[in-house]
Structure 1
C-alpha cells in the first residue's frame, strides 16, 4: 500500500450534509445573480426556463418544448402569470415551502423573471438540474445512487396533496379566465350597440339636412 504523505489531507467518502433548512426557500427572490447564466437566459427567454421547470415538476410527463410554447402563448394574451403561479404552487407543495413574499400568482405578475429564477435554483439546489431534463436527471440519480428529491418522487401523500392543490388552482384559473372573457364579450356587445346607435343618429341627421335642402 502506498504510504500516506504527511500534511496531505484526503477527502472522506461521506455524503455531504443538507445545506438548506427544510420548509424554507434555499435562496431569496432577489438572488438572481446566484446563477448568472440562468438569470441571463430567463431575462431574454423566460419560456425556456419555465419549460425546464415544468418538465421536472411534471416528472417527464410533459416536455420542456411543449410547456415553453404554452407559456409563450399565454404571455401573448397576458395570462402567463397565471400559468406560472400554478407551477410555483406545485413546487411549493412538493417541497413544503412557504408562500412568500406574497401569493404565487402575484409574484409571477410582479416579476416573472425573479420568480422563475428562484424556482430554477430551488430545484437545482435540491438535486434536480432543470437544464438536464427529466430523463438525464433520472439517469444521474440511478448512476450515482442518489435519492430523488420530493418533487421528483413518483409516489407519496405529499405528491397527492400537491396534485390536488394544483387541480384546485387550475379550476380557479379557468373560472377567472371565463369571467374575463365574459366581461370582454359584454364590453364588445356594448361597443357594437353604441356603434349602431351612432350610425343611426348620423343617418337621421343626414336625412334632416337633405330635407332642409329640398
Structure 2
C-alpha cells in the first residue's frame, strides 16, 4: 500500500509554514533533515513534500530526496522524468549528482527520486558513497530533506540518520500510541540521531 497524495488547503499550508518556522527555530543550524514515521501510511511523505515546499517558498534552495528506496512514495506526489535515475543509481556509481537532481515547477525546489530498483538497499546506505552524496547536497543547497522509510522493519532510516543533522517523526492520530513508538525513538537516540520532535497528522 502507498500513501495517498493529500490536497493542500490554506489551513494545511499555514500548518506547514509553522512547522518550517519551528524547524528553523529549534533546529538552529541544522541543514539536512530526515522525515520518518513508525509505520507505513502515517503521512510522512506528505509532510516531507510540504515542508520542502515551505522552505523553498521562504527563499531557501531546497533538495527533496527520496530515501525510501523500497517504496519510493515520492512518485505519487511529483512527476518523474522519462529517465528514471536517482539515489540508488548514484550509490551504485551508475549516475552523477548532476544526472539525478531534477527540477520541479516550484522555484528553488529540486528533487532526487529513488531511481532504479536495487538489491541490498541497507548495504548501499552503509557505505562511503552515501556520505559523498550528502556532502555534495550540503554544498549545493540551503536545506536538504530526506523522505526516509518507516522505522519498523528495516534499518535503513537508522543508517540514513547518521548522515543527517536532525529528524522529525510523523505520527498518525489514532494509529500510533506513545508506548509503541517510544522504543523506536529510543533506537534513534542510541545511534546518535538528533530528533527535533514529532508531527501529529489527522488525515
Normalised by the size of structure 2, how large is the TM-score?
A: 0.23
Task: Indicate the structure whose relative CO is greater, using CA pairs within 8 Å and at least 6 residues apart.
Answer: 2
Q: Which has the larger radius of gyration?
A: 1
Looking at secondary structure, tell me which structure has more strand per residue: 2
Going by fraction, where is helix more abundant, 1 or 2?
1
